[in-house]
Structure 1
Amino acid sequence: MAASPPLLPLQLLLLACVCGVAAAAAARDTLQQGESLTGAATLVSSPSGVFEVGFFPPDPKLPSRLYLGIWYRSMSPRTVVWVANRAAPATSASPSLTLAGNGELRVLDGSAKDAPLLWTSNTSTQTAPRGGYRAVIQDTGSLEVRSDDGTLWDSFWHPSDTMLSGMRITVRAPGKGPSEQMRFTSWTSETDPSPGRYALGLDPSNSGQAFIWRDGNVTIWRSGQWTGQSFVGIPWRPLYMYGFKPANDPSLGAYYTYTASNTSLQRFVVKPNGTDISYMAKKSSQEWETVWMQPSNECEYYAKCGANAKCTIEQDGKAKCTCLKGFQPKLLDQWNAGNWSQGCVRSPPLGCEVNQTGDGFLSIQNIKWPDFSYWPSTEGDENGCMNACLNNCSCGAYVYLNTIGCLIWGSKLIDIYQFQSGGYTLNLKLPASELRSHHAVWKIITVVSAVVLFVLVICIFLWRNHGRNIKDTVHRSWRSIHTSTRAEQNSGMLDISQSIPFEDETEDGKNHELKVYSLDRIKAATCNFSDSNKLGAGGFGPVYLGKLPGGEEVAVKRLSRKSGQGHEEFKNEVILIAKLQHRNLVRLLGCCIQGKEKILVYEYMPNKSLDAFLFNPEKQGVLDWRKRFDIIEGIARGLLYLHRDSRLRVVHRDLKASNILLDTDMIPKISDFGMARMFGGDQNQFNTNRVVGTFGYMSPEYAMEGIFSVKSDVYSFGVLMLEIVTGKRAVSFHGQQDSQNIAGYAWRQWNEDKGEELIDPLTRASCSLQQALRCIHIALLCVQDHAQERPDIPAVILMLSSVSSSLPMPRPPTLMLHGRAVDTSRSSERDHSHSIGTVSMTQLHGR
């Protein structure tokens, strides 16, 4: 017989593929009654082959210690989600898993029938059903013992340290075998699957809360009550988006179900250090990414501040405990020394405790509700809930929420965490004396404010007589046409004595003066507004390059007489920006008000605006990733100054790429404050007469309801971040994959693990991929539909500067708006406005 020719490389490859397919087809997912799984043999889930069952050594240094486990088949290194014989590893070379005739799963330390028993499912039955039992591994990761009559046992009923999609999280483990409390128990260490010190489960008293315990009964963390979308202790993560839903079963009681999205693999793991971490698999690399973690700061640890005290996180990330109003430290010396565990006690007592009347309630915002609440079943509205607490002297606080009803607490309020944003309101019961003192504070503030206002009026009167007040200068100029004097002709200035210093408002402490220029000087500087000097134009009007005596170049912004914006914006910008000085804000040098001309003079930015680089194919390459990230950080720090660090809190309301100017060093500077609004002192609200801005950058609540706050700027910043990362205009995504704006498109790409495709191809190869993807993640948090779910700017800066901390999961945007300029009211119309909380609401009148 002639020898067969040698196989060619292509033939070898085809043969390998055929063998691989045959091996996959040969892989079984079922262990029949009486069969055994021994040695290196495994079961593979069907039909997708996601999970695998077999024996494995968790510690590579101890390969002889074997455990029966379930793991993700495609992940490397091996990711184990369930272990059977956690307390008793096999040491023989060939341990086995058998399915007995009574339906019981057994792990033996050897292949012989009399080998030592290491673990059993404890599910024996008196008589085997017709057709017998079979053990099947599902694509969900569950190992089930079945018969034609149904499921006898399920590994999901007896979890290890991992929660998978499809699990029902109950107080007691279901099934026909012995009932036990259902807990997810950590490994002892990363290489030792024996039961560790920490466990997660539902409150046995059926409050609906999840807890992490140490050593069986020491509470480490609690989730807080379920509100219908999230747990109170995790307000920024709408867990219903992950598939969490409450349910009820006559045999199990209340429980939660968990069904993850089909687009990703996700798991929750109780780690050996006591933290609960959510992981999501990246499709591109098949690596696990940390999505979020609890507890993640000191305030999230249970009862950090003891009873009747609240915990807050300071700017340096450290926890701070404060007694609730109407309470004082129980042990003052320990409290001052930083030992807060003893908490606080009520002082003075409630009126009902000393036979007095007048008790009432103080509402505290952004709270994780205390532990040990209960629901009065007969109270169906807020008034009824309040009266139930008021008429019960043992009641210390109450809340009412439509989705869950009425909750009241006793005299000790345990584990209160006050978030920087988000959370819920707690109505704290106080005696009349404390409520009067609380109202007295506001009376004092009112009186002081009146005195300060009176002093300001006197000062304005005095400054007016000396020509020192810029606002008076602007308004006088509005009422009359200035006639140029000989001094104006010689100097080019109206009166140099009218230069106004603002050194107390500057970031660097320098004396910045605002000058009032004559129209003749402006015309001379711009060659009579020559088209050759024109830099661009916006809704306000054209902008020209000017050159002052001495060679200083300036940008001259001229109000167009046909502009729909104009008088109010001009006055607003002169009065506002003259008082704001920061490295990342454009500096106003002066103004001109003469006749019908209204002109602003700025420092000149030779690189013009961000959009001139970002969306220009010829200049995009100049913005490498390092410059783009520096621009993002610079804009964020400018917003931080506006929102928090300046004496006046300012909402810009028109943040977009064309309003970000770049100096010679490509340092970004926020410009165009014509739409900005101020919140003076401790004021948190402002009534606006007009809703103006650009759709696509405008937050949903502002665009559709006229509600604006600092979170409106956060939304615009998120859109701007996405533009900087992608190199594309927000409106250029219209029509792509049913998205109407960049936020919807970016979320879909990021959620499908295609975030890398969003990065501008010009920077993709050289950028820090982790940093760019983190920027996309932060931007998606900034463009959340609801303002309370967006981070504030200090939190954004912290996220940008940190590369290790985990970020919350963003929700998919549902409100997607076209990108076009809009002014929803005529300047001649007056809107009826009112305020609620920390935002302003405007009733809109269309054109």
Structure 2
Amino acid sequence: MRNETVLLLILLLSVLLWSGSSSDTFDATQSFRDADVLVSVGGTFVLGFFSPSDSGQRFLGIWYARVSVPTVVWVANRENPLNDSSGALSVDSLGNLIISSNNSASLVWSTNNSLLPAEVNSSPVVQLLDSGNLVLYQDVDKKVILWQSFDHPTDTMLPNMKIGYKKTSSRTWSITSWRSYDDPRPGICTFMANPTGYPQLFLYKDGAPHWRTGPWTGSRWSGIPEMRNNYVFNIFFVNDGDEFSITYIMINTSILSTIVVNETGTIDRMNWIEQEHRWVPMYSAPGEPCDYYNQCGPNGLCDPYKADLYTCSCFPGFQPRYPNHWLLKDTTGGCVRNTGASICQSGEGFVGINNTKLPDTSIAQVNMTMTLRECESACLRNCSCTAYASATESGGGSGCLMWYGELNDTRTFNNGQQIYIREDAAELDEQPEWEQESHTGDNAAGIGRCSFASISLCLTNYKAQKRYICWPELFPMKGSDFDDSLIRRHFCTCKTVNSSIATGGRRLPALWPRTPKNPSSVAKPLDTKELDRTGKSDAGLPSFKLSSVAAFTDNFSLSNRLGVGGFGTVYKGVMSDGTEVAVKRLSEFSRQGDEEFKNEVNLIARLQHRNLVRMLGFCLKDNEKILVYEYLPNKSLDAFLFDKSKKSLLDWRIRFDILTGVARGLMYLHQDSRLRVIHRDLKASNVLLDTEMQPKISDFGMARMCGGDQSEGTTNRVVGTFGYMSPEYAMEGVFSVKSDVYSFGILLLEIISGKKISSYYDEGSSTNLVGHFWELWKGGLCMEIIDESIAVDEPHTWKEVLKCIQIGLLCVQELPTDRPTMSTVIFMLGNDTGLASPRQPAYTIRKKNNMGTTNNSSSDSAASVNQATISIIEGR
């Protein structure tokens, strides 16, 4: 969405003209000048010339008439802007709609309609419809359409508009992003149909696949499960051999809705919320790593719900193409068939994998008349067929999709589809009994799947006297000082064998270098000898022995100490395999008790996001409570932000990336994770930075899990840090996702100012940091509080900083309903939308204490001097 002063003035002008004498039509006898506008009959859209920036370039476009945020939905001359206001729109003698320049007498833009009737009527009419479609009719009867803008969309898809193609007329309907936020020229991102194989829609970036919808399942796209429960619009899908297209029509036509290709590489569905005077994102893709095209390479499966270190795994019967690359988390090479696999031999079959976004159907064929049983037989007869699935979800599945070649861009969803992967006889024999697929009638249901990942393989049913075959050169089958389940998960194949040969030695194709003489030197994700044999969190996180943790940290030596807080001490450690870790040793008197400790262990193991810190294990022994995390060499954000010698390393681009990363991490907690999580203690010291200064939210001891439909809760025990607590939480014990939004707002203002919320003091003012920001914002003097380390000499940087200040003030509003959600914050950070005007935030006045001096806390209670997390017991 576009937000420029010039465009806003034009929008206001167009509304005034609409309320006066403007029309929705003009004919060939009239000339449409730069200052003229057309307004649709219902007053929804305006056609006119506009300038999106200070460059003075003029474009003819269509935008919403009475939306307070300037929103252009179509641009005519986007590849050839005018340099002045001399442009005019007219109909030429051939019946084309053209834009010409009076100053240069040159043709700027034309419909160039080659499909006009042989004889063009002398009185064509141009009309702007209330759908946003600009139509050129053959005559005043308006029965024959010569040209319409809906056939030539720019970056926005409106209701009743098509995306797709038509073979007989060689027509395509696609949308292409602007070049930048203030440049309507065509950008590098295009959303369009791919007609190869079984058609689907792709978002291309720089000409390469960036994200795809997946195939049509009968009611939704395979890759957009959110469409399953839709009560806002009706979908019209056409695939008749000549035309492949999709159109959406709003059920409630009073709702304004658009689909926009963003210049940053996302496709966003937006709804206008009049009460809030803003566009609200309803859906955006790609939104997480597994959304990006072919994240795990050919024959790889991307699973964002996995609880281990990797989201990528190989299909059953496949292994990493470049094993050493997978150890470094470079999975783009994908997977290949296991060595020695015999395809198209007797005894082969299929393994079912549940809940997937079906692979790229560019190499697939469809037969809508086949049952799933017939589909299986047809695929089995063709040696080139690698997988099959139902084409639609209706009636439990119907039609047949068959893939020929490598399977690209497959990921899992909680409510995805099922696909069947071709396997040879040997591989099928290795599938445990509980993973064999079963057929009932014409429907097949895979009961499980076997993921041959670089770290975790298959678990067998050990209690049922199954046995496992291990890699003897990696881990000898003797001794008892190890965790059986871990050995099976990391080093063993999924083969059910007779116990008499359980100590045999058939080796799976190695994922690590073969070093039979020195197995301890093999690179592994965790050293199995250092794991407690019985300890596991509810989420399966390994428990370390205290002696092992002590060895990591050289017996908790002072030289390895990274920092001290109210919770205890953090040490740097090195595991026996060379992995650097951060060891958080809670003191015996730590405010983080047993419940908080267990909460963090069981919660963070279930959360997987690039902007959340990753926990590797824990230790609970007597009074010792220890957490083991990935080591982040740049420590926490406050170590840079509030250090005069280091803050200069944080230029504006780094700071903006940090706050954007924190926002994405919070959105994942609030909205995208399997659990709705409220952090309750977000602050600068709980934001860690990796080697590339990318942020990771840490310390989940105070976090609360909520049900999917639960948005808030109450507590008698208020926990958090003064200054970061929202008023409803600090005073009433009411917490919600909006409590985290408040904390994020404080963090954002700290990042901009380089000042702590708990230490800001201005002797000449009665306001705290939030209040000072508010006073300067009202007076237009925000430059005074921006950290001197931030260079704002560039207009774009200055504009972005001001936008972030406004977002920060919106986040710290007193009422939770006035604060945006984190998904809205991310949208505002990434787009130049018109933002709501903030009201006076909460906690803007510094309170007086009993001694008559000012207390700079954001609460009436005293702030802790070290900004440590606190707990307050309140009776209710």
Question: For residues 129 and 203 of structure 2, what CA distance do their matches in structure 1 show?
Answer: 28
SS at match of 1:106: strand
Is the contact made by 1:104 and 1:123 (CA closer than 8 Å) also made in structure 2?
yes
Determine the structure 1 residue equivalent to 2:210: 220
- Residue 159 and residue 378 in structure 1: after superposition, are their counterparts in 2 closer, same or farther (change >3 A)? closer
- Residue 312 and residue 666 in structure 1: after superposition, are their counterparts in 2 closer, same or farther (change >3 A)? closer
Q: Which amino acid aligns with 2:164?
A: T
SS at match of 1:448: helix
SS at match of 1:396: strand
Is the contact made by 2:192 and 2:201 (CA closer than 8 Å) also made in structure 1?
yes
SS at match of 2:80: coil
SS at match of 1:31: strand
Q: Which among 35, 40, 63 is matched to residue 40 of structure 1? A: 35
Is the contact made by 2:198 and 2:365 (CA closer than 8 Å) also made in structure 1?
no
Is the contact made by 1:585 and 1:638 (CA closer than 8 Å) also made in structure 2?
no
Question: For residues 800 and 29 of structure 1, what CA distance do their matches in structure 2 show?
Answer: 37
- Residue 99 and residue 423 in structure 1: after superposition, are their counterparts in 2 closer, same or farther (change >3 A)? same
Question: For residues 187 and 441 of structure 1, what CA distance do their matches in structure 2 show?
Answer: 52
Question: For residues 101 and 374 of structure 2, what CA distance do their matches in structure 1 show?
Answer: 63
How do residues 72-471 of structure 1 correspond to structure 2 at under 5 angstroms? 72-110=64-102, 115-123=105-113, 125=116, 128=119, 132-146=123-137, 147=139, 148=141, 149-172=143-166, 179-205=170-196, 207-215=198-206, 217-238=207-228, 241-243=231-233, 245-248=235-238, 253-260=243-250, 261-313=252-304, 320-348=311-339, 351-353=342-344, 356-372=345-361, 374-377=364-367, 379-400=369-390, 401-403=392-394, 405-419=399-413, 421-439=414-432, 445-448=460-463
Q: Which amino acid aligns with 1:95?
A: G
CA drift of 1:422 comes to 1.9
How many residue pairs are counted as aligned between the two chains? Answer: 492
SS at match of 1:171: strand
SS at match of 1:145: strand
Determine the structure 1 residue equivalent to 2:615: none
Write out per-residue CA displacement over residues 97-136 of structure 1, whole angstroms, 9 at most, x where no aligned residue: 111233201011227xx71101100126465555721110
CA drift of 1:242 comes to 4.6
SS at match of 1:71: strand
CA drift of 1:248 comes to 3.6
Question: For residues 281 and 268 of structure 2, what CA distance do their matches in structure 1 show?
Answer: 7
How do residues 569-608 of structure 1 correspond to structure 2 at under 5 angstroms? 582=595
TM-score (norm 1): 0.51
Determine the structure 2 residue equivalent to 1:768: 816
Question: For residues 598 and 294 of structure 2, what CA distance do their matches in structure 1 show?
Answer: 43
Q: Which amino acid aligns with 2:324?
A: D
Question: For residues 826 and 180 of structure 2, what CA distance do their matches in structure 1 show?
Answer: 31
CA drift of 1:431 comes to 1.5
SS at match of 2:153: coil
When Rg is computed on C-alpha atoms for both structures, the one with the higher figure is 1
Question: For residues 800 and 52 of structure 1, what CA distance do their matches in structure 2 show?
Answer: 29
Q: Which amino acid aligns with 2:40?
A: S
Q: Which amino acid aligns with 1:384?
A: E
Question: For residues 441 and 396 of structure 1, what CA distance do their matches in structure 2 show?
Answer: 23
Q: Which amino acid aligns with 1:193?
A: P
Is the contact made by 2:301 and 2:312 (CA closer than 8 Å) also made in structure 1?
yes
Is the contact made by 1:368 and 1:418 (CA closer than 8 Å) also made in structure 2?
yes
Determine the structure 1 residue equivalent to 2:19: 24
Write out per-residue CA displacement over residues 236-261 of structure 1, whole angstroms, 9 at most, x where no aligned residue: 33386453534448795121111123
How do residues 664-683 of structure 1 correspond to structure 2 at under 5 angstroms? none
How do residues 517-528 of structure 1 correspond to structure 2 at under 5 angstroms? none
Q: Which amino acid aligns with 1:36?
A: S
Determine the structure 1 residue equivalent to 2:797: none
- Residue 20 and residue 82 in structure 1: after superposition, are their counterparts in 2 closer, same or farther (change >3 A)? closer
Question: For residues 59 and 661 of structure 1, what CA distance do their matches in structure 2 show?
Answer: 48
- Residue 20 and residue 378 in structure 1: after superposition, are their counterparts in 2 closer, same or farther (change >3 A)? closer
Write out per-residue CA displacement over residues 734-771 of structure 1, whole angstroms, 9 at most, x where no aligned residue: xxxxxxxxxxxxxxxxxxxxxxxxxxxxxx99422255
SS at match of 1:223: strand
SS at match of 1:34: coil
Q: Which amino acid aligns with 2:290?
A: C
SS at match of 1:433: helix
CA drift of 1:232 comes to 0.8
Write out per-residue CA displacement over residues 494-541 of structure 1, whole angstroms, 9 at most, x where no aligned residue: xxxxxxxx999999x9xxxxxxxxxxxxxxxxxxxxxxxxxxxxxxxx
- Residue 399 and residue 291 in structure 1: after superposition, are their counterparts in 2 closer, same or farther (change >3 A)? same
SS at match of 2:311: strand
Is the contact made by 2:432 and 2:460 (CA closer than 8 Å) also made in structure 1?
no
Q: Which amino acid aligns with 2:45?
A: F
Question: For residues 662 and 67 of structure 1, what CA distance do their matches in structure 2 show?
Answer: 56
- Residue 239 and residue 94 in structure 1: after superposition, are their counterparts in 2 closer, same or farther (change >3 A)? farther
How do residues 409-808 of structure 1 correspond to structure 2 at under 5 angstroms? 409-419=403-413, 421-439=414-432, 445-448=460-463, 582=595, 663=716, 766-769=814-817, 774=821
Question: For residues 41 and 375 of structure 2, what CA distance do their matches in structure 1 show?
Answer: 52
Determine the structure 2 residue equivalent to 1:530: none
- Residue 39 and residue 437 in structure 1: after superposition, are their counterparts in 2 closer, same or farther (change >3 A)? same
Q: Which amino acid aligns with 1:433?
A: A
SS at match of 2:274: coil
Is the contact made by 1:50 and 1:73 (CA closer than 8 Å) also made in structure 2?
yes
CA drift of 1:76 comes to 3.6
Determine the structure 2 residue equivalent to 1:520: none
Determine the structure 2 residue equivalent to 1:56: 50
- Residue 638 and residue 84 in structure 1: after superposition, are their counterparts in 2 closer, same or farther (change >3 A)? closer
Is the contact made by 1:386 and 1:398 (CA closer than 8 Å) also made in structure 2?
yes
Q: Which amino acid aligns with 2:131?
A: T
- Residue 382 and residue 78 in structure 1: after superposition, are their counterparts in 2 closer, same or farther (change >3 A)? same
- Residue 800 and residue 504 in structure 1: after superposition, are their counterparts in 2 closer, same or farther (change >3 A)? farther
Is the contact made by 2:197 and 2:365 (CA closer than 8 Å) also made in structure 1?
no
SS at match of 2:319: strand
Is the contact made by 2:260 and 2:268 (CA closer than 8 Å) also made in structure 1?
yes
Q: Which amino acid aligns with 1:116?
A: S
- Residue 271 and residue 102 in structure 1: after superposition, are their counterparts in 2 closer, same or farther (change >3 A)? same
Structure 1, unmatched stretches of 5+, are 1-18, 453-501, 510-580, 587-629, 640-650, 668-719, 725-763, 778-798, 807-847
SS at match of 1:136: strand
CA drift of 1:93 comes to 2.9
Question: For residues 376 and 37 of structure 1, what CA distance do their matches in structure 2 show?
Answer: 50
Is the contact made by 1:314 and 1:320 (CA closer than 8 Å) also made in structure 2?
yes
Is the contact made by 1:67 and 1:90 (CA closer than 8 Å) also made in structure 2?
yes
Determine the structure 2 residue equivalent to 1:825: none
Question: For residues 803 and 315 of structure 1, what CA distance do their matches in structure 2 show?
Answer: 30
Question: For residues 109 and 670 of structure 2, what CA distance do their matches in structure 1 show?
Answer: 60
TM-score (norm 2): 0.49
Question: For residues 379 and 320 of structure 1, what CA distance do their matches in structure 2 show?
Answer: 36
Question: For residues 181 and 378 of structure 1, what CA distance do their matches in structure 2 show?
Answer: 25
Question: For residues 21 and 191 of structure 1, what CA distance do their matches in structure 2 show?
Answer: 25
CA drift of 1:229 comes to 2.2
Write out per-residue CA displacement over residues 302-352 of structure 1, whole angstroms, 9 at most, x where no aligned residue: 112211111122679997321111111222233333332221111155544
Question: For residues 828 and 52 of structure 2, what CA distance do their matches in structure 1 show?
Answer: 29
Is the contact made by 2:290 and 2:304 (CA closer than 8 Å) also made in structure 1?
yes
CA drift of 1:636 comes to 6.2
RMSD: 4.9
- Residue 193 and residue 22 in structure 1: after superposition, are their counterparts in 2 closer, same or farther (change >3 A)? closer
